[in-house]
Amino acid sequence: MTVPLVTSYWRAVLADARGSNQRPAYTPVAASVGLPRGVRWANAMRCSEITPWGLVSAKAKELTADEWRERYVARLERHGVEKIQQRFETLYREYGKHPLALLCWEENPADCHRSYFADWWAARTSQVVPEAIGLDRQSLMLSLSGALF
């Protein structure tokens, strides 16, 4: 099963959620070490396999960008595509078959592990994981349309 995936950042989700009691058009999945507070549904499902555990410490901040990426990709390799795919499938089935939005705190995807994940995933599965151009239903479907078709 190909689970629809996009990446984005928590502030976009929080802006989308403010003043709304509606369930979003996606399933928020934490790819971040920390979670936001104060949004009812933001107790997001976590995908620990793609979270950069151990790479946000003070010691990790001494790494060059290339070293950091290398360590993060090594972490993904240890978990492997099959285990991560199984986790995505479980989240997709359990939470309403909405696209999974893989979320972290970095606004710029070029500076973020979510783009490293997207590159790694595409290289191993041929599935493109786009950065969402917006998280409302219409924007989300537009982001996914280029990735799935």
- What does residue 6 show for φ and ψ, rounded to 5 degrees? -135, 165
The strand order across the sheet containing 100-104 reads 5-9, 100-104, 27-30, 45-46
Cα 11 from chain centre: 13
In whole angstroms, what is the distance from residue 127 CA to residue 145 CA? 12
Q: What is the pLDDT along the chain (149 residues), one digit of tens a residue?
A: 899 999 998 887 776 666 566 667 788 898 988 887 765 555 558 899 999 998 887 677 788 989 999 999 999 999 999 999 999 999 999 888 889 999 998 888 887 899 999 999 999 999 999 988 666 666 666 666 655 43
Domain count, the chain: 1
Q: Which domain holds residue 111?
A: 5-148
In whole angstroms, what is the distance from residue 128 CA to residue 146 CA? 9
